Amino acid sequence: MKYLTKKEKLLVCISILLLVSCNNTKQCDLPATVTYKEHITTAIETNCFMCHAEDVYKEKASRYKIYNYEHLKKSAQSGQLIGSITHAQGYIAMPYRKGVKIDSCTIELIKKWVVTGMQQ
């Protein structure tokens, strides 16, 4: 009976981890063209308006106005929008609830909107 060497055991473990991680990757069905009006408005309203809607931002989120196209575009251009929703180092993680993050497909949708020129 042959026993696995440490190197062989390590390769088996890495292979298993790769297989498991590949099965957990979520594929996002992103539209060819992402626009503020058709796609981003819903994502922002759903995930951000609890604190960033026009009628509440002064009480809850006074520094970051993202309730309309102009303000959201400005936040996107500065890097603040993507930095915050991806919880990047140096940015305040949004949504501002411990352990809560916008789902990965919505983040990818917003990133695509930014990268493709933030069409209205």
Residue 37 near residue 43, CB atoms below 8 Å: no
pLDDT at 23: 45
> Over pLDDT 90: what percentage of the chain?
56
SS3 state of residue 29:
coil
As for how many domains the chain has, the answer is 1
- Whether residue 96 is contained in a domain is answered as yes
- Whether residue 19 is contained in a domain is answered as no
pLDDT at 54: 85
Separation between Cα atoms, residue 98 and residue 66, nearest integer Å: 21
- Whether residue 92 is contained in a domain is answered as yes
- Whether residue 18 is contained in a domain is answered as no
Crossing angle of the two packed helices 41-52 and 104-115, in degrees rounded to 10: 110
pTM to 2 decimal places: 0.74
pLDDT at 103: 95
- Whether residue 3 is contained in a domain is answered as no
Question: Which residue range(s) make up the domain with 58?
Answer: 36-115
Q: Give 38-89 pLDDT, tens digit per residue.
A: 999 999 999 998 888 888 877 776 677 898 999 999 999 999 999 999 999 9
Query: Dihedrals φ, ψ of 87, to 5°?
Result: 60, 40
- Whether residue 73 is contained in a domain is answered as yes
- Whether residue 88 is contained in a domain is answered as yes
Mean pLDDT of the chain: 84
- Whether residue 6 is contained in a domain is answered as no
Residue 49 near residue 37, CB atoms below 8 Å: no
Query: Dihedrals φ, ψ of 35, to 5°?
Result: -125, 155
> Over pLDDT 70: what percentage of the chain?
77
Residue 44 near residue 69, CB atoms below 8 Å: no
